[in-house]
Amino acid sequence: MRGTIPAVGIRDRLPRRVTIVEVSPRDGLQAEERILPTETKIALIERLADAGHTVIETTSFVSPKAVPQLADADELFKRLRQRPGVRYPVLVPNERGLERAMAAGATEIAILASASESYSRKNLGRSRAEAMEMLRPVARRAKDQGMRMRAYLSMAFADPWDGPTPLDVAVDAGRALLDLGADELSIGDTIGAATPGKVQDLVDAYLASGVSADRLAVHFHDTYGQGLANVLAAMELGVSVVDASAGGLGGSPYARGAAGNLATEDLVWMLEGLGIRTGIDVRALAATAVWICGELGRETPGRAARALAAPPA
């Protein structure tokens, strides 16, 4: 029996403000067939900041051979005009990636591990234990340099090869990342298989293990159309940081059957309707989503973007 949700109206159970971590420049573009020019990527980041985003995951310092879509990470970050009040985290997979990120001027990083064995081997080429050992010196160097560090936990709910992820496995893997020094843990539903009940089971398990809600974030994909409902489920238990991607762009190139990320404009539209502040102009964001999807040669899957862009009847 859960017992952590008081018997009050849903609005009284939700945070008053939500921080959105915008992931379209990195997670959104990494699986796209079309490789965008650096100038277009910088324009995307600028437009996202114009719309009110305060946390924009900018790129990944991964091997260009592994992710050619982000091969310009060094050039992009050096050319980026960083604004006061906006954070620009970058993903680093290993020590070499950290060295490149620091040389480019990054001050905030993200690291990544998998809760499932199969995905760890396919995505990182290492077992879960080996991947954690690879991250240990990365985390130590980053924290020694005073860098903020968030951690992504992939396949926290299910894996296309291993099936459902046991709660204790997901919690242990996430706590290991926090023990490395991560300031924030983003719980990832990489294939979009989670449902609200499963989300609350996992968040509850983290809370019961001593991890406070203010150290948790959620990262949902919308494969089964559960993304927004899953966000609500997490927020009911105190989570107030949500990852999302303009236009619903993104997904892991190694996650079979996964749909794109939860569209940021859909999320902001829902949060505004609940009276929850984000600081983001949903119409400016929707216009950006339509624009970047056009640059990629396709229509946006985000419903709010399509609706707001439609001419009046």
pLDDT tens digits along 78-123: 999 999 999 999 999 999 999 999 999 999 999 999 999 988 898 7
Tell me, what's the pLDDT at 1?
Answer: 47
Tell me, what's the pLDDT at 259?
Answer: 60
Q: What beta strand segments (E) does the chain contain?
A: 19-22, 55-56, 90-91, 108-114, 148-154, 158-159, 163-164, 184-189, 216-220, 241-244
CB-based contacts of 206, cutoff 8 Å, min separation 6: 171, 174, 175, 187, 216
DSSP character for 165? P
Question: pTM to 2 decimals?
Answer: 0.94
Tell me, what's the pLDDT at 310?
Answer: 76
For residue 109, the one-letter residue type is I
Q: How distant is the alpha carbon of residue 134 from its chain centre?
A: 21
Give buried/exposed letters for 43-66 (b at 16+ CB in 10 A, else e).
bbbebbbebbbbbbbbbbbbeeee
Tell me, what's the pLDDT at 250?
Answer: 85
CB-based contacts of 219, cutoff 8 Å, min separation 6: 23, 152, 186, 187, 188, 189, 242, 243, 261
Tell me, what's the pLDDT at 288?
Answer: 97
Tell me, what's the pLDDT at 257?
Answer: 47
Rounded Cα–Cα distance for residues 13 and 64 (Å): 44
CB-based contacts of 168, cutoff 8 Å, min separation 6: 205
Rounded Cα–Cα distance for residues 237 and 184 (Å): 16
Rounded Cα–Cα distance for residues 46 and 140 (Å): 31
Rounded Cα–Cα distance for residues 174 and 116 (Å): 12
Rounded Cα–Cα distance for residues 244 and 257 (Å): 19
In the predicted model, residues of the chain with pLDDT beneath 50 are: 1, 257
3-state secondary structure of 211: coil
Tell me, what's the pLDDT at 122?
Answer: 84
CB-based contacts of 49, cutoff 8 Å, min separation 6: 56, 83, 86
Tell me, what's the pLDDT at 302?
Answer: 84
